Structures are given as C-alpha cells and as structure tokens.
Amino acid sequence: MSLSQAKLPKSLGLDGERLAAFYQPIIAMDTRRIIGYEVLGRACKDDQARSLGPFFGDPDVPAEDHIVVDRILREQAIQRLSKTAGQSAPLLFINLKPNWMHRYTESGELYTLSLIEKYRIDPKRIVLEITEESFNGSMEELRMVIDLYRSRGCLIAIDDVGSGFSNTDRIAHIQPNLLKIDMHMIKRSATHGGYLGALRSFSTLAEQIGASLLVEGVETKQDLARAIDAGARYVQGYLFAQAEPDFQKDDRFSGLLEKELGAHLRSHLQAEYYWRKQSEKLVQLLSEASSLPEDGDSQSMEMDQWIHMLLPKLHERSIRVYLCGGDGIQLSSNFSRNGNQSWRQEDAYQGANWSWRPYFIPNLVQLNDRQQAIVSRSYTDLDTREWIRTISVMTGRGCILFVDMRVPDADVQLENCHD
C-alpha cells in the first residue's frame, strides 16, 4: 500500500476531511515573479480548509504521527512539481524539523531524496527549510545530513531566523543558501529601533555567508517596505496570497511589487539627495572658514577654537562634531549638543584612535581621491541611542571633520524632511 493510502493517525483529528498540500507563493524582488512555493498542510472538506499548523506544533502528538502526515504532504507536493517541467518549474520549499533529519543516523534513509528519484525531480528545485525547534542532538550529525542533501543539489534554508533554533552559531555551522526571517521581526521593527537594527544585520550576515534573505509574514505594504529596506531578495505573506491548492501564474504579483519597488526607490533617492545637499552645505561652510592651525603644542586648543566658530552655523540636527587626523587619531575635543541645544566640550576624547572602525579606511581613501564629503548609512548612536548619519569632510592638512546628525524617525526615512 502506498504512503498516501496509509492509515492516518487519530491525533490528526480528521472529521471527514482529506489531507492536501497547499502552496504559498514566494516572490523574487529582481524578477518580480513567483519563484517558488512553501508547502503547507491543510485538512479539507467541501470548500473549507484548516491549517495543520496546530497539529505539527503540538508537543503532545508523537513524532511518528507528525512524520506520517508530513510524508503524505511531501509526496503530494513533489508529485505536483513533477508535472511542471523544465526551466519554468518553481522551487518547492519543504519544512523539515531537525529531529526528523537527525533520525537518518538510525534508519539510513532520507525520504525526500527517495521522492526526488521516484518522480525524477531536479534536486535544484527543492529547498529544505530547517524549521525552528528545540534541538539537542549533535550539530555535526545534523550538518552531515544537510551536506548529503546539498551534495545532491538541494538548496538549504534556515527558517525563523531571529528566534529559537536559528541562532548565529548554527547558521554559521550550516551555511544555508537562504535565511528566512521570523515574521515577528518584521512587525516589531515597525516601532522598535533595536529590532530594525537586528533586521538589517541579517542582510549583512546573509551577504557575508553567501545567502539570500527571504522575509515571510509580509501582510501590508508597510511590511513590504521594511522588507525591501532590510535587503530581502524574496518575500512571502498574505499581502500577496495565502496558501492555495495549486500553483499560480508567475507574474500574478508583478504589478504590486513593481509599484512598491518604485516607491521605495523614489523615497530613498529623495533621502540621499537631501543628505548630499547637507554635505555640500558643510563643504561650503568649511571653505568659508579660517584655515586649520599649523602643527604645534597648542594645536588641539586651537582646533577646538576653530570648531567653536563652526557650531552656530551647523544644522540643528547636528549632535556631535570632532576632528581626526589621517591616522585615525582624534585631534580635537568632542563637541556634543545638550538637550537645551547648547554645546558641551568633552576633552577626554582627544587622542582617541578611530582607525579600527570599519568605515574609516574606505572613507579615508575616498576622501583622498578628491571626494569632498562622504555620508554614512544610518546607524544607532552609541551614546544617545538615536538614529544618526555621519558626514565626513576632508578639511586640509590631512584632517577629517566628522559631524554626526540626527535622522527624524526610527524608519530612517527622510522623504518628509525639508530645510
């Protein structure tokens, strides 16, 4: 008897329902087309379909019951994929719990690979999502199983990045092709700067390990905007579609994504134009200022006096100003703005070495190549915890003036900012 006809476990709680694999589309930013589907289980009766998420998430249900049901759904999905041939075949994202994969050491069987062979599927069309769960097994053994799938051509994704199982140590160990961001991270990033920063960090992590970022749980256009801002290459969620019983036209959501990508581009270009204007104003201000003092015993004091003359002319969102030499050594004091808009002088920063900061050497090279000013990307200030950007300007005599400026909100959008 085939697996699809096997006796279903009572724990599934079917009431005249049948099991069915449903498919939620995953859309690529670059092509604006559906590139694949996550396989999700449903119990169907007439026109009704209920999610099997609670069943798979119930710790009281034996693992054997979970595996029986999952294998039926997996076979349905791979059989469906086999009917879509050639380059037009989408990717199929299949959820696998680490503990299921861990059983390979006992059985010597990898069920998904047997289905790939049975239905003559190109393994490159299969993405194995390693799901979030408590896992106490050997990471070396888990990595061995993952590498077996990878050696056959399957792609590897880690699900629910930002929670539970998917910590950075395991991500680094597994080296996945895709990082799938926990949907709650997107929601929390809307109102919490810490989550927004963490969300952006995953984009950098993905870049460093050669992975792509997939953001799930995209339910609104605001969610999509944050996913784009975070560097997501792929997105999925109810904004596009719920899981449906069959594949869809691959350009179904092209218009929506095209519109939102265009809006994102326009708003960020406007922001960058704004910051370029601020940097040009700062360059102009320095061109009108007196020359920096020559080297000498009183150089630091004179540099502080030179900055004092600039302070009244700086933009009201400037919060910190200081001078460094080309070697990264701070030559002046820090000048930081108080809550009452006055400035305080902090002499203790004289002599600090900032050459260790990742941006310092690239900035120095660009400024020495006759670029007058550089604006950093937005980041959280260590002292104030506010989002800021730093403008670096070459002032002459090998010195660089740094001006930290506050940005207006947690989303780091400047489309509504004016002079």
Tell me, yes or no, whether 129 and 193 share the same domain: yes
CATH label of the domain that carries residue 270 = 3.30.450.20
CA-based angle 50:52:56, to the nearest 5? Answer: 165
Tell me, yes or no, whether 222 and 332 share the same domain: no
Going residue by residue through the chain, which has 419 residues, state the pLDDT in tens, using 9 for 90 and above. 344 545 788 888 888 889 999 999 999 999 999 999 999 999 999 889 999 999 998 889 988 899 999 999 999 999 999 998 666 789 999 998 887 776 776 667 889 999 999 999 999 999 999 876 656 667 788 888 899 999 999 999 998 887 655 567 778 888 899 999 877 777 776 666 677 777 778 888 888 889 999 999 999 998 898 889 888 999 999 999 999 999 999 999 999 999 999 999 998 899 899 999 999 999 999 988 877 766 544 567 889 999 999 999 999 999 999 999 989 999 999 999 987 789 999 999 999 999 998 888 888 888 876 678 999 988 888 888 888 999 999 887 778 999 999 997 633 443 333 33
> Is 36 domain-assigned?
yes
State the DSSP string of 279-345.
HHHHHHHHHHSPPPPPSSTTHHHHHHHHHHHHGGGS-TTEEEEEEEETTSBB-S-EEEE-TTS-EEE
Give the residue numbers spanning the domain of 153: 3-248
What pLDDT is recorded for position 202?
83
> Is 257 domain-assigned?
no
**Domain limit, last residue, from 213, 248, 283:** 248
Tell me, yes or no, whether 244 and 309 share the same domain: no
What pLDDT is recorded for position 293?
67
Tell me, yes or no, whether 271 and 244 share the same domain: no
Tell me, yes or no, whether 243 and 282 share the same domain: no
State the DSSP string of 82-103.
HTS-GGGPPEEEEEE-HHHHHT
| Number of separate domains in the chain | 2
Count of beta carbons in the 10 Å neighbourhood of residue 46? 7
> Is 416 domain-assigned?
no
Tell me, yes or no, whether 369 and 225 share the same domain: no
Tell me, yes or no, whether 174 and 146 share the same domain: yes
> Is 377 domain-assigned?
yes
Tell me, yes or no, whether 152 and 8 share the same domain: yes
> Is 260 domain-assigned?
no
What pLDDT is recorded for position 132?
61
> Is 341 domain-assigned?
yes
Tell me, yes or no, whether 136 and 181 share the same domain: yes
Burial class (CB in 10 A: 0-12, 13-18, 19+), 18: exposed
Tell me, yes or no, whether 214 and 288 share the same domain: no
Tell me, yes or no, whether 155 and 221 share the same domain: yes
Tell me, yes or no, whether 237 and 92 share the same domain: yes
> Is 142 domain-assigned?
yes
CATH label of the domain that carries residue 143 = 3.20.20.450
> Is 139 domain-assigned?
yes
Single-letter amino acid, residue 389: R
Count of beta carbons in the 10 Å neighbourhood of residue 1? 6
